[in-house]
A and B are shown apart, each in its own frame.
Chain A
Amino acid sequence: MALNVKLEAFEGPLDLLLHLIEKNQINIYDIPISELTDQYLSYLEGLDELDIDMASEFLLMAATLLSIKSRMLLPKERTEDAREEICTALDKEDPRMELVEKLIEYKRFKMIAEVLKEKEEGQSKIFKRRPEDLPFLYEGGISISEVDLDDLISIFARIIKKGAVEEGQSSRTILKDPLPLRIRIRHVYKTILKRKKMGFREFFKENFSKLEIIMTFLAILELIKLNRIKVYQEQSFGEITVTLKEVS
């Protein structure tokens, strides 16, 4: 959109105003508000399309400018009493004042931002070392020196006793892993090596047990990690394709 391109050149309405002020070499403390408002508005009009989200901040400033302009046009109050007149003059500050203060504050931060930019640039040219890996120097949670032989013996006895009790209650059999992942990976890799490219679903045969499905899936993940295969999906919920990566 033309608008975005144009507005993004400015970091908001204050930035645009500062630009206009600098372009016209206006004294920031004595802004010809009418002229500036005209320029500001004509700038907004120059935009082909108004994206409300983007432009609302700019429009708010336009409204503020118009409000200041109209207040400037109001005749100054005149009273008979000179003393009172001075008081009201002090009371009623220049309607531009608030905007001027904002502009000056913003300008200050803008300049600091420029200095930061330079600093950032400078810092990108220096390097520090990656911290050394020194975990062995850190003090761990256990200090062996505080434990003596008797402690060790009694702790050992306690563990053995506890183990004996548990063993008495039930014996457990530890099964040998029926489907080692290592073998599954080799199997899956052989399949893909032969076919070069295949659908994700084709890896899973209908009669697969739950464990087989899980192991096959793990094998595919592992192969992705090993950078041997590539997996992609054209569209969401579409078929996932697995292809062999050429190993150079």
Chain B
Amino acid sequence: MDREAAKGILEGILFAAGDSVEFKDLSKVLEISEEELLSLVEEMKQEYNSQNRGIMISRVGERIRLTTKAEVYPYIEKLLKPQNRNQLSKAALETLAIIMFKQPVTKAEIESIRGVNVEKTLNSLMERNLICEVGRLDAPGRPILYGTTQECLEYFGLSSIEELADIKFDE
């Protein structure tokens, strides 16, 4: 298939879907390999980057999504007056950071890193569908193992968790 035509189709699919769409579904529909798909996506990203576009495409986990650009936000805000989304607390963010890098992880492990009880925090993260139970540890009491969800990647707009792993900290 002609690359330009494929890009157009991709754009149309992403628009109709609204939600993010899986690579493997897209490559199946377009009848191209995932590598080709990713290179198309890269090209499209570049094209959307130009200033005369108000939308962009980005990768979240194994999915691609079409969203507005942050630069448009002030204008959307004026037009629609969106309510502020409930932001996560410091405790929730720290807990989530630990789960991201230690998953699958038990509550006890998270608590030993944070030094505080995380029961409530875990519940609220579960409610927001940012984490989920991924199994049980084969140990006394069979404690629940937690992991992050696709929703979590989308919430932070991460293409992968590894993206965060490079954070360096000064001592």
Contact = CB atoms under 8 A, between A and B. Distances in A.
Most A Cβ at <10 Å: residue of B68, B87, B97, B117:
B97
A128 B18 contact: yes
A106 B66 contact: no
Interface string B50-82: 000000100000000111111001001000000
Given A113-B90, A113-B96, A126-B157, A61 B113 contact: no
B15 A14 contact: no
A194 interface: no
Interface stretch (B2-10, B28-36, B163-171): B163-171
B39 interface: no
A113 B92 CA distance: 9
Interface string B145-164: 00000000001111000001
Contacts of A120: 87-88, 93, 155-156
Interface in B83-119: 84-85, 87-88, 90-91, 93-94, 96-98, 100-101, 113-117
Nearest to A27: B171
The dominant DSSP class at the A interface is: helix
B73 to A, nearest CB: 4
A12 B73 contact: no
Contacts of A111: 167, 169
Given A28-B171, A124-B87, A116 B96 contact: yes
Contacts, number: 108
A119 B163 CA distance: 12
Given A123-B155, A126-B67, A110 B16 contact: no
A63 interface: no
Interface stretch (A40-48, A129-137, A141-149, A217-225): A129-137
Task: Report the interface size class on chain A.
Answer: 35 or more
Contacts of A13: 115-116
B19 interface: yes
Given A105-B113, A106-B114, A120-B156, A112 B164 contact: yes
Given A12-B116, A106-B115, A126-B70, A112 B167 contact: yes
Contact of A130 (B18, B94, B97, B117): B18
Interface string A90-133: 00000000000010011111111111110111111111111110
Given A127-B68, A132-B18, A116 B115 contact: no
B68 to A, nearest CB: 5
B17 interface: yes
Contacts of B19: 128, 131
Nearest to A130: B18
Given A116-B93, A128-B67, 8 more contacts: A109-B97, A110-B94, A112-B167, A113-B94, A123-B157, A124-B85, A128-B18, A128-B20
30 contacts: A11-B94, A13-B116, A14-B114, A57-B116, A57-B117, A102-B115, A105-B113, A106-B115, A109-B97, A109-B98, A109-B101, A110-B97, A116-B156, A117-B93, A119-B156, A119-B158, A120-B88, A120-B156, A121-B87, A122-B157, A125-B70, A126-B68, A126-B69, A126-B157, A127-B67, A128-B19, A128-B65, A128-B67, A130-B18, A131-B19
Closest 6 pairs (CB-CB, A-B): A12-B116, A131-B18, A125-B73, A129-B18, A113-B93, A112-B97
